[in-house]
Structure formats: structure tokens, C-alpha cells
Amino acid sequence: MKIAIYPGTFDPITYGHIDVLERALEIFDKVIITIAHNTAKEPLFTDPERLDMVKHVIKKYGKHTDTEYFDGLLVNYARKKKAIALVRGLRAVSDFEYELQMALMNRKLANDITTIFFMPHEKHTYLNSSIVREIALLNGDISSFVPAYVQKILKSKVQKLRKRKK
């Protein structure tokens, strides 16, 4: 079985993430989405909330997907899961430098695990979780960026934040 790891903060998961996942599922038997701890980011959602959103969104793919939270070195996690590849999405040239640096470092640490880059459909190239959160915080329509379940959770989170500020 060919297993790939798709790491990210998924704060929240968007249609762009889903597009990359679907492209990866065309090549791999199973894709494990990992909710990563990134010290450079401060997520809006807790780990359990992000895990719940991803699980809800990917359940339609059945046994071909799974999701877990992990903290630590990605290549160690990938080896533990017997993965042969890491899946990354590239939206624009601005993503490339960071992603290339990470891919080269992961290759140095684990030459047996390949990083594969997928470009999402062009209709998702501008899309990222930060923009979706910002639009939601400003009462914008996010229905074309995230699945209905994620939209509901995000709107609820925004309402709670507004109540705390009052």
C-alpha cells in the first residue's frame, strides 16, 4: 500500500486543501492528513477542533484517508506510518522557496521519503486559511472557500470571539 502524509495546520481546511488531497488520492492508496503543530503560527482553532473539521470533511473518502494530530519531526512520523511520500500544495511562486527548503531538509533527514508537490486547480490558487479566517472575521461570505460544515464551525468561532470582546 502506497501511503502519503499530507501535513498542515488546516486552520481551517479549505477547498484548496481538499483539491490537493484529491490529486494525491489519484496516486496514493492512502493519504494521512496530519494536523501539525507549527511554532510559527498561532491557530484560531484548537487541535481537537481542527481534527474534527478535517475528519468530517474527509470521511467521504473512506478508508483511503485518515487524520491525526502530531507534534515532532515530520519524517519520523512518516516512517512510523510507513509512508513513502509527503504531500505539499504549491499555490504560487511565493510558496516555492519555503517548500523547497523544507523538502530538501526532509530529503537530507530521510532520503527514502519523497516530497511531492501538487498545484491546486487555478480557482484555488489565491486561497489560504488566513484569508478565509480574515473574511469570516469581517462578516464576509466564505461559502465558496470552505465546506458547509467548516463554514458553520468558523462562523460559530467568530461569534464567540465577538462576544468575548464585548
Residue 115: how many CB atoms within 10 A of its CB? 21
Location of C-alpha cell 508537490: 117
Catalytic-residue membership of 144: no
H/E stretch holding 48 reads helix 47-58
Annotated catalytic residue, options 50, 88, 91, 133: 91
Annotated catalytic residue, options 23, 30, 50, 129: 129
Q: Are 150 and 16 in contact (CB under 8 A)?
A: no
Catalytic-residue membership of 162: no
Strand stretches in 58-140, DSSP E: 65-70, 85-89, 114-118
Distance between CA atoms of 39 and 162, rounded to whole angstroms?
26
Annotated catalytic residue, options 2, 41, 155, 162: 41
Cell output for 125: 490558487
Catalytic-residue membership of 91: yes
Catalytic-residue membership of 130: no
The set of catalytic residues is: 17, 41, 91, 129
